[in-house]
């Protein structure tokens, strides 16, 4: 194994060996191979370690935390402390990378000298393509635009300047959203790379912890390996068709008013909430409530004690 790989890939995981297997296959299928990977178990009790070892690849490193934190923040920080690469990437244990994901982002980061780069991401639910995530829309910035961590590639120096991932029990935003926002507010350059290279499968939608649930990773990984260009073309066509339909849709007065009020609430919360103690307390309560609900939706037990 290269003692100084250019990229460290961090995979936070908890008792989801069924999806972890496919995430690792998509990692090893990368055209860019100068990486190490730290797969950090959040006190896993399933056969995740066995899955990692089954690949017999010395670039894949396994570490299992002694206690469950209930969030990706602590495992990601553990991976960062062990990382040797000058660039850091994250891969969700239920997500898949196209073969060109790392090569495209590494080349793009070098050319732009940005601090953090990300590609276009396609998010899939049981009903098919839900939406895509790219750069912020007009009038927004990365202060209030979220991109999934599986899409990020950033310089290691970001951690030195902005700090590690936060403690989810103490935050009024999800840990990944808070981290990206903190990086932006620190003046770091975040740039969109115009390529589709990530498929996101949210665990709450797929109930990945339910052993009887049908999971999509096998199907999409086969397509990624056999004909990735065709799969990319199909997804982009589907996304552009959905966007065209949305732009041409007619909405009722009631729908328009509802969207306006939601937009107004969002702007007040985002642009004034961090200055207003009461709104920030409400945000904290709401985010913690949503985290507990999401844990239940994914089929997980309640949060461990702090």
Whether 180 has a pLDDT exceeding 90, the answer reads: yes
Residue 205 confidence (pLDDT) = 87
Selection from 18, 186, 192 nearest residue 119 by Cα? 192
For residue 256, is it within any domain?
no
For residue 259, is it within any domain?
no
For residue 206, is it within any domain?
yes
Residue 275 confidence (pLDDT) = 53
Rounded-to-integer distance, Cα 45 and Cα 15, Å? 6
For residue 68, is it within any domain?
yes
Task: Give how many domains the chain has, as a whole number.
Answer: 1
Selection from 106, 126, 301, 295 nearest residue 213 by Cα? 126
For residue 272, is it within any domain?
no
Residue 260 confidence (pLDDT) = 54
For residue 281, is it within any domain?
no
For the four alpha carbons of 18, 203, 93 and 231, in that order, the dihedral sign comes to positive
Whether 246 has a pLDDT exceeding 70, the answer reads: no
pLDDT tens, position by position, 285-301: 555 566 665 655 555 66
- pTM for the full model? 0.83
pLDDT tens, position by position, 56-92: 999 999 999 999 998 899 999 999 999 999 999 999 9
62: region left, alpha or beta (phi > 0 left; psi from -120 to 50 alpha): beta
Domain that holds residue 48: 7-248
What CATH number should be reported for the domain holding residue 126?
A: 3.90.550.10
For residue 263, is it within any domain?
no
For residue 53, is it within any domain?
yes
């Amino acid at each position: 194994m290269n003692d100084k790989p250019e990229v460290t890939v961090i995979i936070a995981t908890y008792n989801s060996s069924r999806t972890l297997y496919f995430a690792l296959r998509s990692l090893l299928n990368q055209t860019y191979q100068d990486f190490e990977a730290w797969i950090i178990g959040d006190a896993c009790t399933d056969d995740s370690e066995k899955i990692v070892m089954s690949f017999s690849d010395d670039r894949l490193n396994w570490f299992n935390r002694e206690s469950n934190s209930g969030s990706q923040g602590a495992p990601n920080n553990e991976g960062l402390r062990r990382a040797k690469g000058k660039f850091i990437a994250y891969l969700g244990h239920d997500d898949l990378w196209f073969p060109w994901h790392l090569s495209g982002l590494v080349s793009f980061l070098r050319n732009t000298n940005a601090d953090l780069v990300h590609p276009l991401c396609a998010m899939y639910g049981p009903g098919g393509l839900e939406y895509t995530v790219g750069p912020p829309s007009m009038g927004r910035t990365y202060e209030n635009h979220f991109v999934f961590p599986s899409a990020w590639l950033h310089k290691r120096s970001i951690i030195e300047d902005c700090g590690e991932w936060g403690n989810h029990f103490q935050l009024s935003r999800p840990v990944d959203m808070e981290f990206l926002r903190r990086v932006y507010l620190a003046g770091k350059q975040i740039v969109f790379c115009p390529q589709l290279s990530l498929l996101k499968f949210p665990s709450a939608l797929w109930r990945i912890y339910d052993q009887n649930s049908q999971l999509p990773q096998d199907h999409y990984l086969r397509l990624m390996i056999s004909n990735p260009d065709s799969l990319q073309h199909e997804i982009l066509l589907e996304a552009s068709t959905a966007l065209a339909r949305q732009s041409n849709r007619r909405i009722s007065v009631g729908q328009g008013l509802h969207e306006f009020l939601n937009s107004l609430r969002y702007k007040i919360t985002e642009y004034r909430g961090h200055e207003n103690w009461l709104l920030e307390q409400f945000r904290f309560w709401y985010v913690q409530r949503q985290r507990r609900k999401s844990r239940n939706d994914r089929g997980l037990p309640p949060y461990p004690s702090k």
